[in-house]
Amino acid sequence: MSRRRVLTGSGAAALAAGTASVGPLLWVPPASAAVRPGGVHLMYGKNPKHRMAVSWSTPAGVRRPRLELGLDRTYGLTVPAESRSTKDLGTVYHHVDLRRLRPGTRYHYRLSHKGASPVTGTFRTAPKVQRPFRFAAFGDMGVNAAAAAHVALIRRMRPKFAFVVGDLCYADTSGGTGVGGPQTQDFRVWDQWLNQIQPSAGHVPWMTTVGNHEMEEGNGELGYSGYLDRFQLPGNGVKGAPVTYSFVHGNVGFIALDGNDASYEISRNLDYLGSAQDQWLRRELAEMRSDPEIDFIVVGFHNCMYCTNLVHGSDGGNRSRWEPIFDRYSVDLVVNGHNHCYERTHPLRDGAPVIEAPRGAVIDSTRGTTYLTAGGAGQAVYPTGGRPISYVSIEGGVRVPETTEWSALTNEVHSVAFLDAVPRNKRGVAKLKLTALSTDGKVIDRLTLKRRR
Ligand SMILES: [Fe+2]
Ligand SMILES: [Fe+2]
């Protein structure tokens, strides 16, 4: 591939888009060349075949932050970055939103600014034709030894991307409760986290959602300003809620919701979107279900709809808002975090198990929705399993006991879930295979979802 084709070939040219204005401040950088780009992380745009956002940071303002892009290390295209400063920190975050990329193509990038020694990397866009692919799913990572080990595990497992369901770094340990005041905040932790994940996130997209710990007191009305400074999100979600989005990869549709908008347990941002998020969710699901290319639908958000762990239990707010919608559109898999453990339900309809799905089961996913708690990605685990009786938080945060016959399997070790999507075979059967691994790579759960068209 010649450099000329990268720049001008049909549909091949990468163009930088003006990035959405989500609270960037006008930045006038001092001359500072000694700082090096760090915290590199990628995010797909709304169409992963053609769009990728590359984000990075420098510990201070820099002149002419830019990305060079090409099909080899001669690069060829230079794109200036949009820079955003953030609250209480000198770090500046740089973003480039690349469009019109070629599908299934490996790109080389180089990040630099005036006088800097550059940082290089590669990424691959989603393929044009359906192929088997793997993604990682988890939440509640933080900055710690287990989290670092999981970044290495994720690299070894070679997913195409990670679907990260909130509670990313814990720069605000109050977790949206407001308890403890400003001393619960240390925004330097964001940069430690972004540097920790760079070995993976600098090469494959980390598609993040917000957890309760992304609601940072004093950081914007919703507390999301710090998150929005650091991530260049796809921007195709609910109007006024850039933390929500959807995308399609191969035969799987993904929807990232804001679980805080529906949480009875931690109600700081309850109902700021309300029916607007529900209507958007219904529209997305209807569109995905009518798309002949999509077999499976995976929805991700932070709060647990079904988890027996006694620290947070299950959230009745998320249940009441979204369970009827998930049932109606036959969502295959819901990924949650929040409880720092692993748990998986049997397939459910209207809150009741419809099939037994022990470890290793192969199930017809049209029968019911499987709920996964994958909150064991690094923060201290919660060794407090609640089966056979746990509780659900109802309106007002009141915890009501309930039996938990919906729970198929719990595990209280650190873990990361991996999912392998397999396109339809000759008989029209597609598969989504779950493998949950502990930090040392041991299998703690397996499940195969099947769907026939
Ligand atoms: Fe958490
Ligand atoms: Fe949480």
Distance 338 CA to ligand 1 centre (A): 4
What is the Å distance from ligand 2's center to 105 Cα?
Answer: 36
Q: How far is the CA of 343 from the centre of ligand 1 (A)?
A: 14
Residues 196 and 286 reside in one and the same domain: yes
Q: How far is the CA of 79 from the centre of ligand 1 (A)?
A: 36
Residue where a domain terminates, one of 124, 144, 176: 124
Q: Give how many domains the chain has, as a whole number.
A: 2
Shared-domain flag, residues 120 and 138? no
The band of 18, judged by pLDDT with boundaries at 50, 70 and 90, is very low
Among 133-137, 145-149, 381-385, which is the least confidently predicted range? 381-385
Whether residue 404 sits in one domain with residue 265: yes
Residue 192 to residue 227: CA distance in whole angstroms? 14
Could you read off the pLDDT of 38-79 as tens digits, one per residue?
A: 999 999 999 999 999 999 999 999 999 999 999 999 999 999
How much distance in Å is there from the Cα of 165 to the middle of ligand 2? 9
> For residue 213, how far is its CA from the centre of ligand 2 (angstroms)?
6
Ligand at shortest distance from the CA of 340? 1
Token pair 């397939």 is found at 347
Both 303 and 369 in one domain: the answer is: yes
pTM exceeds 0.85 for this model: yes
The whole-number pLDDT of residue 23 equals 41
Percent of the chain with pLDDT over 90: 89
What's the pLDDT tens digit per position in 405-434? 999 999 999 999 999 999 999 999 999 999
As residues whose CB is below 5 A from the ion ligand 1, the structure lists: 140, 167
Verify that 96 and 150 share a domain, yes or no: no
CA of residue 232 to ligand 1 center, whole Å: 22
Q: Report CA(23)–ligand 2 centroid distance (Å).
A: 24
Are 265 and 285 found together in one domain? yes
- The predicted-structure confidence for 361-378, as pLDDT tens digits, reads as follows 999 999 999 999 999 999
Query: In this structure, are 140 and 224 located in the same domain?
Result: yes
Average pLDDT, rounded, for the chain: 93
**Alpha carbon of 339 to ligand 2 centroid (Å):** 7
Residues 180, 301, single domain; the answer is: yes
For residue 189, how far is its CA from the centre of ligand 1 (angstroms)?
15
Q: Answer with the one of 124, 154, 171 that is the final residue of a domain.
A: 124
146 and 119 part of one domain? no
Q: Do residues 295 and 438 both lie within one domain?
A: yes
Residues 90 and 181 in one domain: no
Q: Which ligand is nearest to the CA of 139?
A: 1
Q: How far is the CA of 248 from the centre of ligand 1 (A)?
A: 27
pLDDT of residue 34: 63
Query: Which residue range is the domain that position 249 belongs to?
Result: 133-452
Residues 229 and 276 in one domain: yes
Residue type, 237: G
Ligand 2 center–CA 234 separation, angstroms: 23
Residues with CB under 5 A from ligand 2 (ion): 167, 211-212, 338
Q: What is the pLDDT of residue 35?
A: 79
Of 105, 124, 143, the position where a domain reaches its end is: 124
The residue with tokens 């400003």 is 182
- pLDDT, tens digit, 9 for 90 and up, residues 237-295: 999 999 999 999 999 999 999 999 999 999 999 999 999 999 999 999 999 999 999 99
pLDDT band at 331 (very low <50, low <70, confident <90, very high): very high
- The ligand placed nearest to the CA atom of residue 210 is 2
CATH of the domain at 217: 3.60.21.10
How does residue 11 score in pLDDT terms, banded at 50, 70 and 90?
very low
Q: For residues 72 and 75, what is the distance between their CA atoms, to the nearest angstrom?
A: 6
CATH of the domain at 13: 2.60.40.380
The gap between the terminal CA atoms of the chain, to the nearest Å, is: 38
Tell me, letter by letter, the H, E, C secondary structure of the chain.
CCHHHHHHCCCCCCEECCCCCCCCCCCCCCCCCCCCCEEEEEEECCCCCCCEEEEEEECCCCCCCEEEEECCCCCCEEEECEEEEECCEEEEEEEEEEECCCCCCEEEEEEECCCCCCEEEEEECCCCCCCCEEEEEECCCCCCHHHHHHHHHHHHHCCCEEEECCCCCCCECCCCCCCCHHHHECCHHHHHHHHHHHHHHCCCCEEECCCHHHCCCCCCCCCCHHHHHHCCCCCCCCCCCCCCEEEEECCEEEEECCHHHHCCCCCCCCCCCCHHHHHHHHHHHHHHHCCCCCCEEEEECCCCCCCCCCCCCEEHHHHHHHHHHHHHCCCCEEEECCCCCEEEECCEECCEECCCCCCCCEEECCCCEEEEEECCCCCCCCCCCCCCEEEEECHHHCEEEEECCCEEEEECCCEEEEEEEECCCCCCEEEEEEEEEECCCCEEEEEEEEEEC
